Amino acid sequence: MQFYKNLWRDSGMLPNTLAVGYVLLTYFGGWALLFLGTWWSLLLGTLAVAHGMTIAAYLLHDCGHNALCKKVEHNTRLGRWMNVITGSHYGTYEDMRYKHMRHHVDNCEPVAFDYRAWLVQRPVLHKFVRALEWCYIPAVELLMHGMLIAAPFVYDSKKAQRSRVLRITLLRVACFGLVGWFAPLALLGYALAYCLFLTFLRFMDSFQHNYEIFYTLDTPDAKPPYKGNRDYEECNTYSNLISARWPWLNLLALNFSYHNAHHTKPNMPWYRLPAYHREIYGDNCPQQLSIWGQVKSFHRHRVERVLAEEYGTADVRETVREGKAVGVNALSFLTAF
């Protein structure tokens, strides 16, 4: 028991145990509900699996900052298992961590794959993706997660991961094949849960920064113009609280919405961010966005956002408030290219 208590940073045994336990309960319990096959169990199971993957993703994010466990190796182990639950483990935890650290240090969105140019060169596929996005299917995010499988066969820097990706792909295809054979409705429920999961993460990502996108992820020596500029970081980062009146609702995103506080102290664990946010800003955070403005913007511009690169030009607070913010797709920390 003492070892387990000492495993966690910052007296985090109870909140982290509850969070990891919640992930296990909702993810595996959700799968059990999906296999029951009734209308109510399919509904509850889909929502449970979706939110279990969501919290797993944000725990993975905190592991990347070494914010949960005292030792790097324990953060890495936990982060890898959370990566499995999110279904993004075609890409490695280490690659995800590297990309996200570049985001924090470079004060930009460093990526390797320009999906916008790729889609423009394929007009039929571009139209299909836009049609799916109009139907609220996160086609761009699905494309980016598909690229996790293709990346080792496209980028020389990831060539060593080919056998790993093949093993994981074959295993998951076999598992999903068995599920589809014995319980096709459960497979459908998982597909819906996965789309809900990607949509929620994308909603949280779309308006949190006004950074520029640079295709320099595979160029470690690149020096973006605002690298290390703390003033720029603060002024171009936004806290998109789900609710300021009822702070417990922000646990739906494991407090990821306290984003300015997170960027001020990136290694602060998720359960301390609300208090730190209040310590910095009190009840008046100038970087806080309207949740309903985000919802309106996210809905109105879901098709336009497919090719949008708004970062670096717009006042996010004003455009969000008016429901005119377009936002940007494909910036998830789960896709490391």
In angstroms, the CA 13 to CA 23 distance is: 15
pLDDT at 318: 84
pLDDT band at residue 314 under the 50/70/90 scheme: low
pLDDT(311) > 80? no
How far from the centroid of its chain's Cα atoms is residue 206's Cα? 10
- If you compute the radius of gyration of the chain from its CA atoms, what whole number of angstroms results? 20
Most confident residue range from 62-76, 144-158, 209-223: 62-76
pLDDT(218) > 90? no
* pTM, 2 dp: 0.95
